[in-house]
Amino acid sequence: MINNNNLKTVWPKYMMFKKQIEAINIEEIEYKHVLDNKDAEFITPPIMLYKDKKYICVDANKRVSKAKEEGYTHMLCYKVNNDDEAKFFSRLNDLTYAKEKTKELIGDFEFIFKDEVLAPLAYDKCKHLFYK
């Protein structure tokens, strides 16, 4: 986490697709406020769909709410441009979180191509994510 003057940024533990990461001002994010965000953890980047010049939180309302409550100004997020990318990163975050909780090491992208949800997206609609 960075704190420069009045900027305070949430850095998630895992950022597997760094070219998709963008620091987004929390004030610019449209999200559902949640009443109970005590169990929100900053393990994976929130997913923001960029549509009509707005950032819409498609995964991680609790994390955005908690970050705002704790005085953060920015979050490092996966910026996605369509529903397929949103599905891809949502499933990726779910698997990454599960591996973190079981203390399973993530050494490469192999698990992506073994997953029944991620593999078809990776081979077809989201293959551009694997190129520079």
Q: What's the mean pLDDT in 81-98? A: 96
pTM for the model stands at 0.88
The Cβ of residue 38 has, within 10 Å, a number of other Cβ atoms equal to 7
pLDDT in tens, 10-69: 999 999 999 999 999 999 999 987 778 888 999 999 999 999 999 999 999 999 999 999
pLDDT at 107: 82
Burial class from Cβ neighbours inside 10 Å (0-12, 13-18, 19+) for residue 73 reads: middle
Q: Considering only CA atoms, which of 46, 54, 42, 52 is closest in space to residue 20?
A: 46
Q: For residues 108 and 129, what is the distance between their CA atoms, to the nearest angstrom?
A: 15
